[in-house]
Amino acid sequence: MKFKKIDTIIIVVMIVATTFFLVKADYISIILPDVHTNPPGKNNTTVTPLPIDQVPAPPTSLIPAYRRDVSPDDEGVHFNDLRTSREWWYFNAVFTDATSQLKDWAVAVSFNHVARGDLFGTNKPDLLIVSILGNNSETYGGMVNKEHHLGILKQGTLLAESPGVKVSFEDSWAEGSYPHWHVHVENADVDSAHEIVIDLDFSARSLPVWALGSHVIEKSDSEVANYVLLGCVVSGTIVIDGESFSVKGTGSHEHSWTPNAIRKLFIGGWDMFTVTMENGWSIYAANYLPSPQAISGAISSLDPFGTLLISSDNGETITELKDVNLKITQRDEKVFPLVRLPSGFSLQADPSINPLYVISQSLLYGTKTSLNGDISITHATNHIWKFPAYIGMKIGYCVYTGSLSWTDDDGVHEIPIQGIGVSWNMRALL
């Protein structure tokens, strides 16, 4: 049988398209030579970091007052409302203080209530996530999800009240109200191989920032909401297998909730990072990915919901960048053949040209403010819910290396920055 010319063209196109998709989906890899070239106008001069007390402060965004105001009702429970199906309280910290007995370790604790369809087939929407990550790949903790009962005689595993933060998961709990919270973890199910007890005090040094939602009026009634506090002082003790360690460092507290209307069919994954830099700066980055992940994660680099917050003074002032390009550079654990959890990113961000952010971005126009860098997740606590849920979640120890550059009256600044933090990554098949 002879092939016609049009048949040959069709076959070649199909082979090229299939190869492209498999490469993007991580089925096969193409190794390129490691060639480094300098962009036009650049040279190979090594940039020596300035002493911390000499590092100039970056341009700041004009954040309206209503985006920096959180009430006790905002801090409290929302998932008891029929409109809201998901709610998360996060507490992250890195122990960078010289007095910490777990120097440069990281910890993450989260109390979560998810929609029943998110973990389809388990009927256990209440989650406790605990991760203790050392600077030499030590990994403790895990994730446990249990039932949530709506009946009067039998309560759910995750209990929450208002006002303020008052949430518990069996013997683990978090309680407090701005600007102080205490987190206690004591749950054998999160790590069957190790005994873990955590007692940490979080103290805010600045006002929170609303990153998502419409919060001008009746903030706590918003159906999609997320606020974060950067640069918190964190201190306390961590007990691992009977040995107690005194810890101190910098952390963040985050609270979010979403309505029933947002399903896995619309959001197929998210990536979040809170990083403390060696120069004392804090960086918060978040991005939500549209479904389906098998397609959007493979062929799309568009980050429509990206947010990046930078603070050089423990959250007192904020540089907010909205044009965020968080590109996956490495993947590891498979959730499904075409969906993998990420382990490396390149991160680029600039002031947004979107008119919706003209207020917060107005002070950045003309400054050429931009952030460029790489994020590597060195080790992590993972959990993958297989059939029929097909969801993977990962809480990791991340290392950031990059730079922040801008222009002001004193000229052009390019500040090398590096630090460590906690990453949160989720991927769903659908």
Name 400's bridge partners.
375, 419
CB atoms within 10 A of CB 104: 16
- Spatial strand order of the sheet with 411-428 comes to 319-321, 307-311, 282-290, 267-277, 411-428, 391-408, 370-385, 339-350, 323-336
Which segments of the chain have a pLDDT < 70?
1-53, 82-84, 115-123, 148-156, 213-223, 260-268, 290-305, 333-339, 353-360, 362, 387-389, 429-430
Looking up tokens 């052009």 gives: 412
pLDDT digits (tens, 9 = 90+) for 355-377: 666 666 767 877 899 999 999 99
Q: What does pTM read for this prediction? A: 0.82
The DSSP output letter for 66 is G
Mean model confidence pLDDT for the chain: 80
Could you report the per-residue pLDDT of 391-402, keeping only the tens digit for each?
888 999 999 999
What is the reported pLDDT for 128?
Answer: 96
Degrees (nearest 5) of the Cα angle 238, 244, 246? 65
CA-angle at 156, arms to 76 and 92, nearest 5°: 50
Beta bridge pairs of residue 380? 396
Cα 81 from chain centroid (whole Å) = 25
Tokens of 48: 């020596």
**pLDDT at residue number 289:** 73
* Entry field: residues in the chain: 430
